[in-house]
Amino acid sequence: MKKESVFLSICLVEKMLAFRQKLGKFGEKLACKYLRERGYKIVDQNYRTRNGEIDIVAEEGKILVFIEVKTRTSRVFGFPEEAIDVRKQYKLAKTAEHYLMAHRLYDRDYRIDSFGIEIDGQNKKARIRHKKDVVGW
């Protein structure tokens, strides 16, 4: 009986992780659509280093914009963008710096933005909040 309950728990965790990944990818697609509709050019997605990941890299005119997207289906744990704490901001800044160096964009103006996306599955709607320049140093 114990082995069966452990197996069920593992299956549940795997399903939850798969759902969260799909939800995250869906939120990133919505953010890209939102950005394109406002004249941004998407340059890169899911840029990873050992320090972290940047969901979207875009250009707004001459400014390079690094974007973190947080997507949720409820506010049980607060607004999605509230998950971007000081530690996460530090990781985003380090990853952005790595991107600039790796792409030889040493003198490029840039900023880090966030998207908080709330999905309402019942009404098939999404609430999108775009905050610019969220890393304050």
Per-residue pLDDT, 11 = 59
Higher-pLDDT residue of 59 and 14 is: 59
- Rounded average pLDDT over 22-35: 87
pTM value is: 0.81
The Cα–Cα gap between 82 and 68 comes to: 12
pLDDT band at 1 (very low <50, low <70, confident <90, very high): very low
Pick the CATH number of 2-131 from 3.40.1350.10, 3.40.50.300, 3.30.365.10, 3.40.50.11740: 3.40.1350.10
Confidence grade of residue 12 (pLDDT, cut at 50, 70, 90): low
SS3 59: strand
Confidence of residue 121 (pLDDT cuts 50, 70, 90): low
DSSP-assigned letter for residue 46: E
Task: Render pLDDT for 53-103 as a digit per residue (tens, 0 to 9).
Answer: 999 999 999 999 999 998 887 666 666 677 778 888 899 999 999 999 999
Check pLDDT > 80 for residue 37: yes
Cβ–Cβ contacts within 10 Å for residue 114, how many? 26
Of 14, 131, 123, the C-alpha closest to 68 is: 131
